Amino acid sequence: MSTGLRFTLEVDGLPPDAFAVVSFHLNQSLSSLFSLDLSLVSQQFLSLEFAQVLDKMAYLTIWQGDEVQRRVKGVVTWFELGENDKNQMLYSMKVHPPLWRAGLRQNFRIFQNEDIKSILGTMLQENGVTEWSPLFSEPHPSREFCVQYGETDYDFLCRMAAEEGIFFYEEHAYKSTDQSLVLCDTVRHLPESFEIPWNPNTRTEVSTLCISQFRYSAQIRPSSVVTKDYTFKRPGWAGRFEQEGQHQDYQRTQYEVYDYPGRFKGAHGQNFARWQMDGWRNNAETARGMSRSPEIWPGRRIVLTGHPQANLNREWQVVASELHGEQPQAVPGRQGAGTALENHFCGDPGRQNMATTAVAETAGRRPAERCRDRTGRRGNLLRRTWSRAGEVQLGPL
């Protein structure tokens, strides 16, 4: 029976004990691709061909004795042969989720009369992402016309998800190697929270997992969103929606974001404005902490207990984490402080949806004034409608 903390790694097609983990660093955040960097050693394989490792599935397991604390699996996207002293070989490896492959494909295409679930499903299927779960509560009507214009599949997927108020994360299983990509449009679908105590004495954390550092901050962010669109079918339609941000007691409310075109139809524009507002303010209030628990990752909720600052003893939504593990004794003849694990995480009070700012960040770069509408008409129609200072009569382009 094994005792204590330890890390193991398996790669498809190789024996389970092919590698010993010397160290790893796992960087994760909501609505982004995780990155797992590993330093490895092998006495069994002193020379490996790239074809034996690259594009294979790898499985990192964190153990406490014989009990699994955390599993992470992904695709080996980079592999390096290191030092070889004729007795052992050092290797380095990068692992990403299957969705990472979508960043290598670029396309021009049109989707017509499809909703967001159908569009995202097509992108995931084409990129070999078979384990995914859509958890949607909000209305997501079909889009009459949607274009992927020279974007990678991943960038297009992220933009579409952000416009519809959808965030995503990897849900890890304990008892199996199952790992599902979860797409949510509300934090209500996140797993149930679990309690973890605050204890600044890291010596006692060896036996009881806790949070040893915790900081809470706020910053000024945009206060409101105004989004507008136009359709020649209904020239009298206002096509304008507003959304005020929440919890702004500590800042002025003059920081308005105006977005055109809003890329919505009908009353659904109010949802677009709300989701964009959530995206702009998703980091207005931020908590940062440190723990040795591997069970804190993006997509989970924790309840802090025992903190002397009473208002911090509440539920927090984890939005990012950096998990670092050291196992220096895995290299024969090397000494070190023993196996260690440290988790630096970031969270927020969970007051709003975790939509990203992807749509907001790209709004100013849309070449709308050069686009044709569905009838082939060009820029002067659009140039007149996006100006908030009133219509400007321009000649043909």
Q: What is the pLDDT of residue 363?
A: 42
Per-residue pLDDT at 385 exceeds 60: no
The mean per-residue pLDDT over the stretch 258-271 comes to 85
Q: What is the pLDDT of residue 106?
A: 97
Burial class, 384, CB count within 10 angstroms (exposed 0-12 / middle 13-18 / buried 19+): middle
Per-residue pLDDT at 237 exceeds 70: yes
Q: What is the pLDDT of residue 262?
A: 83
Q: What confidence category does residue 355 fall into, taking pLDDT thresholds of 50, 70 and 90?
A: low
Q: What is the pLDDT of residue 204?
A: 60
Given a contact cutoff of 8 angstroms between Cβ atoms, the answer to whether 104 and 155 are in contact is no
- Residue 97 CA from chain centroid, whole number: 11
The mean per-residue pLDDT over the stretch 328-347 comes to 88
Per-residue pLDDT at 123 exceeds 70: yes
Q: What is the pLDDT of residue 389?
A: 59
CA dist 327 → 16, 146, 208, 336 (Å) = 18, 49, 20, 8
d(CA 262, CA 242): 11
d(CA 316, CA 299): 11
* Lowest-pLDDT range of 269-278, 296-305, 332-341, 376-385: 376-385
Other Cβ atoms less than 10 A from the Cβ of 331: the count is 17
Given a contact cutoff of 8 angstroms between Cβ atoms, the answer to whether 273 and 227 are in contact is yes
Average pLDDT, the chain: 87
**Candidate ranges 88-102, 224-238, 333-347; pick with highest mean pLDDT:** 88-102
Q: Between 361 and 347, name the one with better pLDDT.
A: 347
Per-residue pLDDT at 135 exceeds 80: yes
For 223, the 3-state DSSP assignment is coil
CA dist 315 → 97, 319, 362 (Å) = 28, 13, 32
pTM comes to: 0.86
The percent of residues above 90 in pLDDT, for the chain, comes to: 68
Q: What confidence category does residue 388 fall into, taking pLDDT thresholds of 50, 70 and 90?
A: low
pLDDT tens column, 156-215 = 999 999 989 999 999 987 667 789 999 999 988 899 999 999 999 876 655 678 999 999
Q: What is the pLDDT of residue 105?
A: 97
The percent of residues above 70 in pLDDT, for the chain, comes to: 85
Given a contact cutoff of 8 angstroms between Cβ atoms, the answer to whether 63 and 69 are in contact is yes
Q: What confidence category does residue 343 fall into, taking pLDDT thresholds of 50, 70 and 90?
A: very high
d(CA 18, CA 40): 10
Two tokens at 178? 């199952």
Other Cβ atoms less than 10 A from the Cβ of 321: the count is 23
d(CA 287, CA 348): 6
Per-residue pLDDT at 370 exceeds 50: no
Per-residue pLDDT at 148 exceeds 90: yes
The mean per-residue pLDDT over the stretch 133-150 comes to 93
Q: What is the pLDDT of residue 374?
A: 45
Q: What is the pLDDT of residue 387?
A: 58
d(CA 265, CA 256): 22
Domains for the chain: give ranges and CATH numbers: 5-96 (2.30.110.50), 101-184 (3.55.50.10)
Per-residue pLDDT at 37 exceeds 80: yes
Q: What confidence category does residue 3 fall into, taking pLDDT thresholds of 50, 70 and 90?
A: low
* Lowest-pLDDT range of 20-34, 163-177, 257-271, 364-378: 364-378
Nearest to 243 by CA among 259, 220, 265, 263: 259
